[in-house]
Every structure is written in structure tokens, then in C-alpha cells.
Amino acid sequence: MARQAKTPELIVRVEKSGNRFNAWDTNGVKRTSEITTGCRKKAFNGDYLLGRFTGTTGKTYWRKIEGEMPSVSTSNDLVEVPIDHAEILNFIHNSYSLKPRGLMMSELKWKYLIRSGVRGKNIMMTGPAGCGKTMAAKALVNSLDRPDFYFNLGATQDPRATLIGNVHFEKKSGTYFSESVFVKAIQTPNAVILLDELSRAHPDAWNILMTVLDYGQRYLRLDEQDGQATVKVADGVTFVATANIGNEYTSTRVMDKALMDRFTIVEMDVLTEDEEYELLTYMFPHVNNDTLQSVAKIASLTRKESKSETARIGSGISTRTTVELCGLLYDGFGLQEASEVSIYPQYDDAGGVDSERTFVKQIVQKFCDDGSSDDLFNEEEVHEATAA
């Protein structure tokens, strides 16, 4: 008997906006944040539609489907930006419904983020690693529904090539200048340009961005081009950067104060235990609730310890790590096994029983069922780790 084909719950078409691939459903609703970048890019390059399906476990997934979809009205060609003050106020203060449920961010900070974007401010998202800075920045892009460009400056080996362009040579045409995608991006009216991992960027990138980000200048000099042309930043362009700031981030650089002054700072908060549990239950509804509560408690305990005056660990477990750990739980790993591969490698094991790793193991093992770690805590630590 032939297997009956499943009908997709939603159908999307992928369109390119800037250097990003956005997904639109049949009602014109943007679904970009629900689909991985690789999946969207393949759909665009392959010129096919994507359908959303729900598996037997209740988890949704996207895959290629055949057929055609009616034209969808999107704002890629014409970007409508609120101009009237009353319209802007209404948009800002009714924008909380646009926040993705999986982004744990207070209503005040979300509205501040939206307001900064609407007003064309340069925005810097700060906060500890794995707290959702990039997710918040991308959520802003999706909410404003404007042309958008993404640049990972932390992974850029040649900032001049990335931000300005390259000089090439061909036998027939000789030497010529090829401008970068960034040059195109800053000339796109009302574009949102995401500068990810700015604190990891080479100082040359910071120097190039100085005039681009300065509200009184807003230009980029193409000094690799003959005549050193100057490109003006288009009206309405918003720059959104993410940065890890602090001594604990050894791979980051001390950011130039003059560069930081060109941004409005939006600080992401570390989640409380209740917020962490709420997020994990939303993302992993099929994982045992008690286990998810234990993961949230473990994360909370490590974060409190890392901030204490007598801290025995340098940093707490990030939300990115708890999400990865719960993904392992969803795939059938036990809490101990998941911790072994996702948490423990982040902590130094030098010092034996006094090491950071041993201390974190003590916390985790109090939430495992085998009772093998009863002798690892003293009486005070047992109370702390198991208290409701």
C-alpha cells in the first residue's frame, strides 16, 4: 500500500534581502526565525518551497515540497518606516507581541530595542556569552521588516576586504577595485546591518567603522579605490552590534571607548531560575518537567556561585549550554551523560578535588538519581543545592 504524503501545515517561499534569506508564508507573515539559515539558503538557491510539518514526537521541522505558491506581498522592495510621531509611539508600545516567545527579554528592554531601531540608532547588544544577544538582534531585524545584512566581524580575517573591498588584477582589464557587500549594505535606505561579535573584531575594523557609525559623519572612504571615493550612509540605516565585554572573555579585545560611545547600549539580562525553566519548557515540551527544573536549578546555582565573593568557579552555565544540554535530554541522553559532554569541558580540572570541574560536578550530581555523589558536598552545600 502506497504511503500517503503528509500535507504541510505552512508553506513558505524564501527571498533574498540584503545578504540574508527571509522566509514568507502565504499570508505574508515572516517565518525567517523558525528555519535554519542553511535550510533557507538551499531553498532559495534551489528555487523550491519549504513546508512545515509536525513529527510523531510533536516537534516541528521544515523540508522541501513541490508545487507553486501565490505571490506574497512583502516589504523587501518598499520599506514603510513610521514617520508620524503618533505612529512611532503606537508601533513601539505595541511591539511586545512581535518578540519571539523563545527570546527571554523584559518588555521594557524589548521596547527600548525597538525604539532604538525605529529611530535609526546604533545599537550595541551586550551581556554574557550565550544569553541571547544575537537572537535579540535578529529578532529586531525580523520585527522591523527591513532590508537586512549580516556580518560576523569576529570571524573576519581581513577587515579591509570585508568592509571596503579588494583590488584585483586581470591580464585583459588590468587592475580594478571590487567593492564589498558592506558598501552596498550602507547604501541601502532603511537597512538594518548586524555587526556580530564586534568585540572580537580586529582594531582595523573598528577604525574603518568610526566614521560610518558617527552620527555627524556617516560615511565610508574607499581608500583602496582610485580617487578614494566617499560613500555616504543612506537614510534610515540602523547598525546593530553584539559584544562580550569583560575580563572573562579572553578572546575579545578591550573595545575603544570612542567606538562604544557611538552606540546605544542594550544589556541582555542573565535569566533567573524561573525564566530559564520557562524557556526550557517552551523549547522542550516533551522532556520531563522535573528534569528541566533540575537543569534550570543547576544553571542558577553556578551563576550565583560565579558572582559570589568567594567564587569557586569563574563563570556560570550559559543559556546556550542549558539549551544544548536539554537537546541531548530530548535525544535520549541522561542528565549525567549530557552534563559530561556539554558542561564539564567548560571548566578547568586542574587541582583535583579542588578544581572548578569537581565543584560543578558536585552541583550536577546532586540532581542525578544514582546517589553516587552523596559524599561530595558538605552539609551546607547539600542544603544549598537541594533547596527548593
Residue 263 has pLDDT above 70, yes or no: yes
Instruction: Pick the closest to residue 319 from 150, 135, 108, 98 (CA basis).
Output: 135
Instruction: Pick the closest to residue 151 from 134, 132, 127, 131 (CA basis).
Output: 134
| Residue, of 84 and 246, whose pLDDT is higher | 84
What pTM value is reported for the model?
Answer: 0.68
pLDDT over 70, % of the chain: 84
β-pairing, 10-17 vs 49-54, is antiparallel
Kindly list the distances between the CA atom of residue 277 and the CA atoms of 108, 272, 273, 295, 328, in Å, as whole numbers in the listed order. 21, 9, 6, 8, 16
The grid cell for 21 is: 534569506
CB-hemisphere CA count at 13 Å for 145?
20
- Max avg pLDDT among 33-37, 141-145, 190-194: 190-194
Q: Cα–Cα–Cα angle for 161, 237, 269, nearest 5°?
A: 90
- In this predicted structure, what is the pLDDT of residue 69? 62
Out of 117-126, 128-137, 310-319, pick the least confident: 128-137
β-bridge mates for residue 218, sequence order = none
Out of 15-24, 80-89, 113-122, 209-218, pick the least confident: 80-89
- In this predicted structure, what is the pLDDT of residue 85? 81
Out of 95-99, 232-236, 253-257, pick the least confident: 253-257
Query: For residues 32 and 142, what is the distance between their CA atoms, to the nearest angstrom?
Result: 7
Mean pLDDT over the full length of the chain: 82
Query: For residues 185 and 191, what is the distance between their CA atoms, to the nearest angstrom?
Result: 7
pLDDT, one tens digit per residue, over 198-254 is: 988 888 899 999 999 998 899 998 865 555 678 999 988 999 999 886 544 444 456
Query: For residues 39 and 60, what is the distance between their CA atoms, to the nearest angstrom?
Result: 14
| Residue, of 76 and 42, whose pLDDT is higher | 42
Residue with cell 510523531: 56
Residue 274 has pLDDT above 90, yes or no: yes
- In this predicted structure, what is the pLDDT of residue 101? 82
The grid cell for 243 is: 559584544
How sure is the predictor about 124, in pLDDT bands with cuts at 50, 70 and 90?
A: very high
1 contacts: CB under 8 Å, gap ≥ 6:
none
Helix residue ranges per DSSP H, the chain: 37-46, 85-93, 107-118, 133-144, 159-163, 181-186, 203-213, 257-260, 273-283, 289-307, 319-330, 335-342, 356-365, 379-386
Query: For residues 19 and 17, what is the distance between their CA atoms, to the nearest angstrom?
Result: 6
Residue with cell 518551497: 49
Question: Would you give the DSSP letter of residue 99?
Answer: S
Q: Are 373 and 358 in contact (CB under 8 A)?
A: no
β-bridge mates for residue 194, sequence order = 150, 240
How sure is the predictor about 372, in pLDDT bands with cuts at 50, 70 and 90?
A: very low
In one-letter notation, the amino acid at residue 198 is L
Query: For residues 343 and 358, what is the distance between their CA atoms, to the nearest angstrom?
Result: 12
- In this predicted structure, what is the pLDDT of residue 384? 53
195: three-class secondary structure by DSSP: strand
Kindly list the distances between the CA atom of residue 16 and the CA atoms of 23, 29, 140, in Å, as whole numbers in the listed order. 9, 15, 18
Phi/psi of residue 172, nearest 5 degrees: -75, -45
